[in-house]
């Protein structure tokens, strides 16, 4: 199919746009520049009716953004180690708000998910705009969170424990905008605060960043593709279905999140104060 002028329809007032008039199996450099521009503007973009997208074209699209990931433990599409296989009957239901792989020192830049099979109803995915989550904080709160970091932790049998420390407020390397960068699934604690202060602040930031006014919700159809900027969004797969759901995902390797340097030293705990991290888990579906 010869690509025509892209038709862009916003999905919500906060973020997200559906794009028609493009065949992702055959995009030009000009097409990619436009897609990249739309991704930075809308943060998550959707391409319906892409059932013909081949594994080779899917991986090639990811490589236009950078080096693609070979995930250390997610199942793969046979013959394509770069394509993670997300199946609902094998644990692929990440029904908690999260940013992908923040427990890595270099979390992914973006992901491209191709929904091959989806239920007739249910199984939508939601995204949340973390620029807006930061920008709607009061000035005193902004001043506080700009000077903090958070530790992000994964505990899973396949890899043991992985952790990384990132700014609570990330500065996007391409747009220069600030966004909240904590996530209910992986963020363990803020080391500059006491345990109770950290738990209270993280809980507030989780609830604030997940508000409906920052969200969009996408109803999948078979063959649709979603592409999202992992540096400025969170997402959640709604677990309200029992039918089989299958997706194939390419993830683009990332960079070190940057923000303001922490303004305070690590909190010095008393000798008998136990600082257990808050609950973390190893869900990995979309």
Percent of the chain with pLDDT over 90: 76
> Which has the minimum average pLDDT: 87-91, 206-210, 228-232?
87-91
Q: What is the pLDDT of residue 155?
A: 86
Residue identified by tokens 């506080």 is: 144
- Does 272 participate in catalysis according to the annotation? no
Say if residues 123 and 165 touch (Cβ distance below 8 Å).
no
Q: What is the DSSP letter of 213?
A: G
Mean pLDDT confidence for 223-238 = 96
Do the beta carbons of residue 285 and residue 145 sit within 8 Å?
no
- Sign of the torsion angle spanned by Cα atoms 137, 140, 141, 147: positive
pTM over 0.75: yes
Q: Is the per-residue pLDDT at 41 higher than 60?
A: yes
pLDDT given for residue 73 in this prediction: 72
Integer Cα distance of 219 and 196 in angstroms: 39
Q: What percent of the chain has pLDDT over 70?
A: 91
Compute the distance between CA of residue 48 and CA of residue 55 in angstroms, rounded to an integer: 17
Query: Which pLDDT tens digit goes with each residue over 88-115?
Result: 776 556 789 999 999 999 999 999 999 9
23 in catalytic set: no
Give me the mean pLDDT over the 170-192 stretch.
97
Are 128 and 215 within 8 A, CB to CB? yes
Tell me how far apart the alpha carbons of residues 93 and 235 are, in angstroms, rounded to a whole number: 12
List, in order, residues 6 or more apart from 133 with CB less than 8 Å away.
Answer: 179, 180, 205, 208, 209, 211, 214
| pLDDT score of 272 more than 70 | no
Catalytic annotation, pick one of 100, 146, 184, 245: 100
List domains and CATH numbers for the chain.
Answer: 7-128+215-252 (3.60.130.10)
> At residue 227, does pLDDT exceed 70?
yes
Range in 63-67, 75-79, 113-117, 180-184 with the lowest mean pLDDT: 75-79
pLDDT band for position 2 (cuts 50, 70, 90): very low
CA distance 185 to 281: 7
Longest dimension (CA), the chain: 68
36 is catalytic: no
Phi, psi of 40 (to 5 degrees): -65, -35
pLDDT of residue 169 exceeding 60: yes
pLDDT beyond 70 at 208: yes
Contacts of residue 209, defined as CB under 8 A and 6 or more positions apart, other chains included, come to 97, 128, 130, 133, 180, 182, 234
Q: Out of 34, 58, 184, 235, pick the active-site residue.
A: 235
Residue 257's nearest CA partner among 56, 99, 44, 50 is 99
Helix (H, G, I), strand (E, B) or coil at 6: coil
pLDDT surpasses 50 at 140: yes
- The per-residue pLDDT for 284 is 44
Active-site residue identified among 42, 152, 184, 249: 249
* DSSP calls for 83-113: EEEEEGGGT----S-B-TTTTSSS--SEEEE
Torsion of CA 67, 71, 77, 79, to 10 degrees: 60
Q: In this predicted structure, what is the pLDDT of residue 120?
A: 87
Q: Which of 114, 122, 175, 178 is nearest to 145 (CA)?
A: 178
User: Of residues 42, 98, 152, 184, which has the active-site annotation?
Assistant: 98
pLDDT, one tens digit per residue, over 273-282 is: 555 455 555 4
Q: What's the first-to-final CA gap in the chain, in angstroms?
A: 29
Would residue 100 show up in a list of annotated catalytic residues for this protein? yes
Q: pLDDT tens, 121-134?
A: 888 999 999 999 99
């Amino acid at each position: 199919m010869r690509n025509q002028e892209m038709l862009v329809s916003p999905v919500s007032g906060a973020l997200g746009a559906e794009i028609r008039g493009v065949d992702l199996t055959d995009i030009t450099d000009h097409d990619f520049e436009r897609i990249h521009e739309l991704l930075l503007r809308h943060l998550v973009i959707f391409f319906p009716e892409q059932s013909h997208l081949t594994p080779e074209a899917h991986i090639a699209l990811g490589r236009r953004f950078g080096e693609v990931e070979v995930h250390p433990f997610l199942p793969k599409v046979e013959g394509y180690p770069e394509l993670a296989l997300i199946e609902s009957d094998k644990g692929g239901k990440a029904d908690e708000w999260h940013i992908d792989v923040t427990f890595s020192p270099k979390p992914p830049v973006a992901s491209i998910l191709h929904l091959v099979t989806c239920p007739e109803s249910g199984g939508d995915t939601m995204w949340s705009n973390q620029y807006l989550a930061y920008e709607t904080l009061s000035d005193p709160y902004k001043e506080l969170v700009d000077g903090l970091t958070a530790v992000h932790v994964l505990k899973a049998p396949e890899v043991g424990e992985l952790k990384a420390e990132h700014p609570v407020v990330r500065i996007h390397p391409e747009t220069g905008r600030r966004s909240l960068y904590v996530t209910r699934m992986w963020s363990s604690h803020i080391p500059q605060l006491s345990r109770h202060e950290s738990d209270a602040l993280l809980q507030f930031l989780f609830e604030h960043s997940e508000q409906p006014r920052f969200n969009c919700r996408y109803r999948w159809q078979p063959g649709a593709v979603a592409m999202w900027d992992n540096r400025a969004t969170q997402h959640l797969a709604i677990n309200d279905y029992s039918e089989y759901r299958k997706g194939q995902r390419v993830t683009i390797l990332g960079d070190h999140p940057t923000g303001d340097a922490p303004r305070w030293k690590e909190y010095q705990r008393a000798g008998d104060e136990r600082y257990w991290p808050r609950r973390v888990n190893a869900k990995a579906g979309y």
